[in-house]
Chain A
Amino acid sequence: MDIFLQQLANGLTIGSMFALVALGYTMVYGVMKLINFAHGDMVAASAFVGLTIYTQVMGQATSLPAVIIIFLLSALAMACIGVILERIAYRPLRTAPRLSAVVSALGASLVIQNGIMLIWGPRMRIFPELVPQIYWDFGGVVISLIQVIILVLSLVLMVTLYLFVEKTRMGAAIRAASIDQDAARLMGINVNSIIALIFIIGSSLGAVGGLFIGLYYRGITFNMGWQYGLYAFIAAIIGGIGNIPGAMLGGMLLGLFNAFIAGYISSTWSDAFTFILLIVILIVRPTGILGERVAEKV
């Protein structure tokens, strides 16, 4: 029972990080039908940007306001990079064959990854201890303050995003643009602005995810975006790519799944079991758990 509860807590923590990152993949896919392979590397870049803001800008302060500023500045920086990425890597290829955009995405991924390596070096860096090491022991189940912060903040961000997309005018415009861009234009929706907005939201959430990865795992490497990006991408597919609640659900499920594999079998099997889970879900529900509610009439 202890293992179960412990892995439940761990799984929810990892799952929140997967979910935050998965949202970036799924929102971009929803509107542009494009897998933004650079997203995982943006997540990694955010951890390094956060590290630099901590050391260079904030003078290694770890007060609550300082930590909030580190989060906000990192998210802002990644949002800007996301918008620039869309402008130079994806917009010129909007009407080009799908494969061109995929190649461009892979190229952008390599550019960002190598950029991180050039700026911060190829060796592992240690992410600062922005949150005090506080642990609570509930009869053998240990939960850290970091875990609580990651879980609560992720949930707040996800609920906010969900309400924004479902209940606001701009949210409706995002959904319209992801269904039919030309029809959305006829409604007066500026699809270019919607795409920029998607990159801003997706990249900022990914930035928060990157900082969480730094806080939780501490060691950050220039190429870690590949690994976390892949898991988040799988989470997005499991939930139904293009579907926002799907990415949240997929992230949480994959986090829990991985934690239980690690707890009951061995973490060395995580990758293998993750892909088995992906294959099983794609066989049972090819559109993912929440993908496409109804078939559209033509």
Chain B
Amino acid sequence: MSSDVLFEIKDLEVSYGSIAAIKGISLTVNKGEIVTILGANGAGKTTTMRTISQLLKAKSGSIRFKGQELTSLAAHKIVKLGISHSPEGRRVFGILTVEENLMLGAFSQSRLDKTTLEWVYELFPRLQERRKQLAGTLSGGEQQMLAIGRSLMSNPEMLLLDEPSLGIAPILVKAIFRQIKEISNKGVTVLLVEQNAKAALKLADRGYVLDVGKIALSGTSAELLASERVQEAYLGKKH
């Protein structure tokens, strides 16, 4: 694994009013890696992702992508820099068709890249079959595929995935994780938020464990899988 740092968070703090949600976290993502952020409900995973995308503003700290500071930018500028975010709960545009959703994914591009669209349809053939269907009528798993496909349409260098396994049948989770690996093989760097620690660590190179707004643990996936803390808290194993 090369170690060119692509993305770096330093001493990030985020709060909702007077409530601190992120209390000084630092992490790095190298080019080409899959890095996962694990943590229980309310740990601050989504808050971190939304702050990277500037939907939330940091209270302090820095977020750098290819050396550029993001915290001073407006949210709509982020995707143009090469960071695409597939949000928690999918957030597809329900009363638009599958195809219209994908086209919106390419909104930041000056023109539509046909090969990207073909690649997305190749990754998720279901989307091509249903391209004229309203996104809101897709099943939860299909909507997740659409959310990921839509975020690929901007040809991102780094993909932020917030709980792609949320509310989806295990068999579909497997299929979606396989495609995340495929996306990574194409050279896209992935930052993956998950509660499904086992699946995430099988896929990721490295991981961070977030616990009420602080990083409790970090290491390679093998190290985390072997650690007692992760085993107890997330894999349900008792020692």
Nearest B residue to A292, CB-CB: B95
B74, B107, B136: the one contacting A187 at CB < 8 Å is B107
Identify which of B61-69, B85-93, B176-184, B198-206 touches chain A: B85-93
Q: B residues 70-105 with Cβ under 8 Å of A?
A: 74-80, 84-85, 87, 89, 91-96, 100, 103-105
Q: Which residues in B have their C-beta under 8 angstroms from that of A189?
A: 76, 104, 107
Give the docked Cα–Cα distance between A128 and B206 (Å): 75
Interface residues on B, range: 20 to 34
**A191-B76, A297-B140 known; A182-B91 Cβ under 8 A:** yes
Among the 9-residue stretches A169-177, A199-207, A268-276, the one with 4 or more Cβ atoms under 8 Å from chain B is A169-177
Q: How many chain A residues have a CB neighbour from B under 8 Å? A: 24
A295 to B134, CA, bound (A): 11
Contacts A186-B79, A297-B136; A173 near B107 (Cβ below 8 A): yes
Whether B55 and A173, one on each chain, are in contact in the complex, defined by CB atoms closer than 8 angstroms, is no
- A298 and B95 contact, Cβ closer than 8 Å, known pairs A188-B76, A188-B107: no
CB distance from B96 to the nearest CB of A (A): 6
Contact residue among B95, B104, B136, B150 (Cβ-Cβ distance under 8 Å from A173): B104
For residue A190, which residues in chain B have a CB less than 8 angstroms away from its CB?
Answer: 74, 76
**Which residue of A has the minimal Cβ distance to B89?**
A298
Note all chain B residues with C-beta closer than 8 A to A176: 93, 96, 104, 107
CA–CA, A176 and B93, complex, Å: 7
Cα A298 to Cα B140 with chains together (Å): 8
- Decide if B51 is an interface residue (CB 8 Å cutoff): no
A186-B74 contact, Cβ under 8 Å, with A172-B104, A180-B93, A297-B143: no
Q: How far is the CA of A187 from the CA of B74 in the complex (A)?
A: 12
Cα of A292 to Cα of B100 in the assembled complex, Å = 17
Most buried by B among A176, A187, A294, A298: A187
Q: Looking at the complex, which one of A169, A186, A292 makes contact with B53 (CB distance below 8 Å)?
A: A186
- The complex places the Cα of A56 from the Cα of B91 at a distance, in Å, of 52
Interface centre among A169, A186, A292, by most chain B C-beta atoms within 10 angstroms, is: A186
Judge whether A296 and B136 touch: CB under 8 Å: yes
Q: Which of A182, A188, A294, A298 contacts B87 (CB 8 A)?
A: A182
Q: Tell which of A183, A185, A188 has the most Cβ of chain B within 10 Å.
A: A188
Chain A nearest Cβ from B127, distance in angstroms: 16
Check B100 against A188 for contact (C-beta < 8 Å).
Answer: no
Contact indicator B75/A179 (Cβ below 8 Å): no
B195 within 8 A of A: no
Q: How far is the CA of A184 from the CA of B138 in the complex (A)?
A: 20
Chain A residue with Cβ nearest B50? A182
Alpha-carbon distance between A42 and B89 when the two chains are bound, in angstroms: 40
Expressed in whole angstroms, the Cα–Cα distance for A294 and B94 within the complex equals 8
Docked-complex contact B91 and A180, CB < 8 angstroms: yes
Is B60 part of the contact surface with A, judged by Cβ < 8 Å?
A: no
Q: Verify A188–B94 contact, CB threshold 8 A.
A: no
Docked-complex contact B74 and A294, CB < 8 angstroms: no
A185-B84 Cα distance, complex, nearest whole Å: 11
Kindly state the separation between the CA atoms of A185 and B91 in the bound complex, as whole angstroms: 12
Interface: A293 (CB within 8 A): yes
**Is residue B165 within 8 Å, beta carbon to beta carbon, of the partner chain?**
no
Look across to chain B and name the residue whose beta carbon is closest to the beta carbon of A183.
B91
Cβ–Cβ contact A294 & B136, under 8 A: yes
Residue pair B95, A296 in contact (C-beta under 8 Å): yes
Chain A residues near B74: list those with CB within 8 A: 190
- B76 near A293 with CB under 8 A, answer no
Q: Does B47 contact A (CB under 8 A)?
A: no
Interface presence of B36 (CB below 8 A): no
Given contacts A185-B55, A294-B137, contact A175 B96 (CB under 8 A): yes
Q: For the complex, what is the distance from the CA of A172 to the CA of B137, rounded to whole Å?
A: 19
Chain A residues with Cβ below 8 Å from B96 are 172, 175-176, 179
Shortest C-beta distance, B50 to chain A (Å), equals 8
- What mask results when residues 155 to 178 of chain A are scored 1 for a CB within 8 Å of chain B, else 0? 000000000000001001101100
Over the window 194-219 of chain A, the binary record of Cβ atoms lying under 8 Å from chain B Cβ atoms (1 yes, 0 no) is 00000000000000000000000000
Interchain CA distance A157-B231 in the complex, whole Å: 64
Q: How far is the CB of A27 from chain B (nearest CB, A)?
A: 16
Check B95–A187 contact: CB distance below 8 A: no
Per-position 1/0 for B122-159, Cβ under 8 A of A: 00000000000010111010010000001100100000
Complex A-B: 5 CB contacts under 8 Å: A186-B91, A187-B104, A188-B154, A295-B136, A296-B94
Given A294-B134, A294-B137, A298-B89, 15 more A-B residue pairs with CB atoms under 8 Å apart are A169-B103, A172-B96, A180-B91, A182-B91, A183-B93, A185-B55, A186-B53, A186-B55, A186-B87, A186-B91, A187-B154, A188-B80, A295-B136, A297-B94, A297-B136
Nearest 5 interchain pairs by C-beta: A188-B108, A296-B94, A185-B75, A183-B91, A188-B79
Q: Hey, which bits of chain A sit against chain B, CB under 8 A?
A: 169, 172-173, 175-176, 179-180, 182-191, 292-298
CB within 8 Å of A: which residues of B?
Answer: 53, 55, 74-80, 84-85, 87, 89, 91-96, 100, 103-105, 107-108, 134, 136-138, 140, 143, 150-151, 154
